[in-house]
Amino acid sequence: MIIALLNQKGGVGKTTLAVHLAEVLSRLDKSVLLVDADPQGSALDWAANRPDNPPFPVIGLPKPTLHRELPAIAKNHDFVLIDGPPRVNELARAAIMASDVVLIPVQPSPFDVWAAKEIVDLLREASTFKENLKSAFVINRKIVNTAIGRDVVEALSSYPVPVLKTSIGQRVAFAESAAQGLTVLHTDPSGPASQEIVSLAKELLEL
């Protein structure tokens, strides 16, 4: 299964989610590949900052030919996570065409809801070529114990894309683990951040 994390709006947490989902899936004894398709190379930076080798390979492939090159690279892996670019461009189109599932991280703000239209339009365009393409929103960086998370779910209902039940909170643990080239599953394995990520991975697999 190839899963792309995409949104034309930067700063929504694509890399954080991609890295953490790759970590969870690798712990299920699955062969996982993380593809950094963002020219900024944040996932590659994360891997380089690790104190040891990650349990899955991380490669850079920020190329508009991604959809043609990835199948040969991905064939020996159970799961491939694509950390997509922060804009709707040829790279994003290539990532969609390479994927089975597109996960769209959205922060709980009106700006993110409005910005989601571009990636939804791109998915609609791609669906004419890929009838079985699946997609879903995931609420990321939700402020815990506030109503704004519920409000954004309601606002996103205007799009023909489902919203996953699992939301990821705005937690310092994610930044602290990233600074070490690790994940919250290493630094706080029983904490709420880890529980949310594991729940998200399970829900994603049910798609």
- pTM here is 0.94
How far is residue 204 from each of residues 40, 163, 180, measured CA to CA in Å? 26, 11, 26
Judge contact between 200 and 174, C-beta under 8 A. Answer: no
**pLDDT tens, residue by residue, 111-136:** 888 889 999 999 999 999 898 999 99
Judge contact between 36 and 8, C-beta under 8 A. Answer: no
| Alpha carbons 21 and 184: distance in angstroms, whole number | 11
Handedness of CA 11, 167, 103, 73 (dihedral sign): positive
Six-digit token pair at 142?
């939700």
Q: DSSP class of residue 81? A: E
**pLDDT tens, residue by residue, 75-104:** 999 999 999 988 768 999 999 999 999 999
| Alpha carbons 110 and 20: distance in angstroms, whole number | 26
Which of the following CATH numbers is that of domain 2-206: 3.40.50.2300, 1.10.3720.10, 3.30.830.10, 3.40.50.300? 3.40.50.300
Residue ranges of domains in the chain: 2-206
Q: Which of 52-56, 66-70, 137-141, 174-178 has the lowest mean pLDDT?
A: 52-56
